[in-house]
């Protein structure tokens, strides 16, 4: 797919309008949402804007039990078209996270993501500028040259307060880990709770220079 230009209106669109724009532009069957199930907002936005839209959860073999439970609950409650994508069959739990987090993320996140995006034209994510300094310049729409796909971040401009208000207005539940001090939730070996006021993603790969798993940078 050649790079395309995006209408300026996307930068100020409501999240659901961004997802609807993508469905109109590319066709629902050519869209995929990846969700970490850290919260319910992205999947609610996507599934109410475009019912039946494909939603992918990358099961790294090291997800928190709470996250798996939360994904099940939301799938039933919101009638999500959820697809759980696993690492390739030869990748078995191996404690690689203890010795090489980049290699571990590559086989458990990056390769499964790339496989999930094959044949699709647009990828919808929950990345927000408020996630932290490394995501402060996140656009609503961009072209991922490496993956040859349009990348949409409909929640890019949402603050933490916007997320809380949206969840409140739509009576959405929270991942049980949120109230236990986990504002950012990844795999259990690489995520710790953070103190009030600490960088939200400060509990991810704490003590390591790694800040992203390779999906978004």
Residues near ligand SF4 (CB under 6 A) = 60, 62, 97, 101, 104-105, 108-109, 186-187, 189-190, 213
Are the CB atoms for 154 and 32 separated by under 8 Å?
no
Closest CB to ligand SF4 among 70 and 97?
97
**Least distance (Å) from ligand SF4 to the CB of residue 64?**
11
Check 104, 187, 190, 213 and give the catalytic one: 213
Q: How far, in Å, CA of 155 to CA of 12, rounded?
A: 11
| Residue placing its CB nearer to ligand SF4 in the complex, 34 or 60 | 60
Distance CA(80)–CA(32), nearest Å, equals 12
61 or 178: whose CB is closer to ligand SF4?
A: 61
Compute the distance between CA of residue 131 and CA of residue 6 in angstroms, rounded to an integer: 23
Residue 167, CA distances (Å) to 86, 160, 190 in order: 29, 11, 26
Is 213 considered catalytic here? yes
Task: Rounding to the nearest 10 degrees, give the CA dihedral for residues 103, 100, 153, 7.
Answer: -60
Of residues 110 and 172, the one with the C-beta less far from ligand SF4: 110
CA distance 42 to 125: 8
Q: Which residue in the shown chain puts its C-beta closest to ligand SF4?
A: 187
Residues designated as active site: 213
């Amino acid at each position: 797919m050649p790079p395309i230009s995006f209408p300026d209106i996307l930068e100020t669109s409501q999240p659901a309008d961004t997802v609807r724009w993508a469905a109109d532009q590319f066709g629902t069957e050519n869209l995929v949402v990846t969700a970490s199930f850290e919260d319910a907002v992205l999947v609610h936005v996507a599934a109410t804007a475009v019912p039946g839209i494909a939603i992918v959860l990358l099961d790294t073999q090291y997800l928190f039990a709470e996250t798996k439970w939360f994904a099940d609950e939301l799938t039933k409650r919101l009638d999500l078209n959820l697809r759980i994508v696993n690492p390739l069959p030869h990748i078995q739990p191996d404690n690689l996270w203890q010795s090489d987090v980049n290699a571990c993320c590559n086989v458990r996140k990056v390769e499964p993501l790339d496989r999930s995006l094959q044949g699709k034209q647009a990828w919808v994510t929950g990345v927000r500028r408020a996630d932290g300094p490394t995501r402060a310049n996140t656009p609503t729409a961009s072209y991922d040259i490496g993956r040859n796909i349009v990348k949409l971040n409909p929640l890019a401009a949402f603050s933490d307060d916007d997320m809380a208000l949206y969840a409140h207005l739509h009576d959405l539940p929270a991942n049980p880990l949120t109230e236990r001090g986990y504002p950012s939730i990844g795999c259990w070996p690489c995520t710790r709770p953070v103190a009030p006021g600490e960088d939200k993603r400060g509990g991810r790969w704490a003590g390591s220079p790694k800040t992203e798993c390779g999906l978004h940078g």
